[in-house]
Chain A
């Protein structure tokens, strides 16, 4: 069975500082990994994905994520946080191209001025 864990319910960062939102996964075979963001009262929006290739994936709004196969992790990062980055972030994994997407429980990111 596939699963995703986001070990932090909340991450607090000062504006301008780097941010990391953690994600670990469990899946048989090669994973397809995704990050989504949810702003208040909105649906989820796609940020980035890893399927194959370079372990560092770049996505929307200056975010990037690093795939680490040995640690089964896919942490989301940004070099310099903005107040407008404050939102709920979800990591997700699927087992193959056509499989179901399974979500983590979400991490609330709060960026203070």
Chain B
């Protein structure tokens, strides 16, 4: 089983719909992240959480919200999806000491 699991892997939705992307991890890490990948722009940080009670905005948080339900679970929500939120979304985890991120396989979201 993957250490960092994202669901759904693919989703097509319509403008205005609410969408939730879920992430769970078995790494035992306190730190979790949501990134968005767009061609030519690399990965941009949406939100990050250093523990269950700590939520922080990243570079591009507008239009997104997150929930850290437990150490192992970190979900990303789009309250009212718009077409320019079409992208590949990655969840990642890390511990404090190594600095290395462990990524999920990604969730491809298409907003029509």
Contact A105/B42 with A42-B105, A43-B90, A43-B104 known, Cβ cut-off 8 Å: yes
Q: Which of A29-46 contact B (CB under 8 A)?
A: 32, 34, 36, 41-46
Q: How far is the CB of B1 from chain A (nearest CB, A)?
A: 14
User: Within the assembled complex, what's the spacing in Å between the Cα atoms of A60 and B48?
Assistant: 27
Report yes or no: A101 in contact with B42, Cβ–Cβ below 8 A: no
Interface code A49-67, partner B: CB below 8 Å = 1, 0 otherwise?
A: 1010000000000000000
Q: How far is the CB of A95 from chain B (nearest CB, A)?
A: 11
Q: How far is the CB of A79 from chain B (nearest CB, A)?
A: 24
User: Within the assembled complex, what's the spacing in Å between the Cα atoms of A42 and B42?
Assistant: 15
Chain A: interface secondary structure? loop
Report yes or no: B40 in contact with A46, Cβ–Cβ below 8 A: no
Total residues of chain A contacting the partner, CB 8 A: 24
Most B CB within 10 A of own CB, among A36, A49, A90, A101: A101
Report yes or no: A9 in contact with B103, Cβ–Cβ below 8 A: no
Report yes or no: A32 in contact with B103, Cβ–Cβ below 8 A: no
Asked whether any CB of chain B lies closer than 8 Å to the CB of A97, the reply is: yes
What 6 pairs across the A-B complex have the smallest Cβ distances? A43-B103, A105-B42, A103-B43, A103-B42, A44-B103, A43-B105
Using a CB–CB cutoff of 8 Å, the interface residues on chain A facing chain B are 6, 9, 32, 34, 36, 41-46, 49, 51, 90, 94, 97-98, 100-106
10 A-B pairs (CB sep. < 8 Å): A6-B42, A32-B99, A41-B106, A45-B103, A46-B100, A49-B99, A90-B42, A97-B99, A100-B48, A101-B99
